[in-house]
Amino acid sequence: MTNEMNNKADLSEIEIKVIQLMSEERTSKEIADSLCRGVRTVEGYRSVIREKVGAKNACGVLLYAIRNGIVKV
């Protein structure tokens, strides 16, 4: 996670759904199956999400999601 986490990232609906599924500990394959997308497509979403929110890894994305009300603990 970087110190410059974006508080108002411009996330699409599909990116928000991917984050929500990540918070359920789903793998890229499980997310892909759930969204009727390919695994590489989901991995691309995950990469773009990390860039948009300023996170280095999935943990940083989930911290962002909790802090911004995308997922609830």
Over the stretch 16-73, which tens digit does the pLDDT of each residue have? 999 999 999 999 999 999 999 999 999 999 999 999 999 999 999 999 999 999 999 8
Instruction: Indicate if the pLDDT at residue 4 is higher than 70.
Output: no
CB–CB of 43/18 below 8 Å?
no
Residue 65: both structure tokens together:
């999601």
Greater confidence, 37 or 6?
37
Per-residue pLDDT band at 6 (split at 50, 70, 90): low
Q: What is the pLDDT of residue 73?
A: 86
CB–CB of 52/15 below 8 Å?
yes
Task: In whole angstroms, give the CA distance from residue 53 to residue 1.
Answer: 9
Q: What is the pLDDT of residue 9?
A: 78
**CATH no. for 13-67:** 1.10.10.10
Per-residue pLDDT band at 8 (split at 50, 70, 90): low
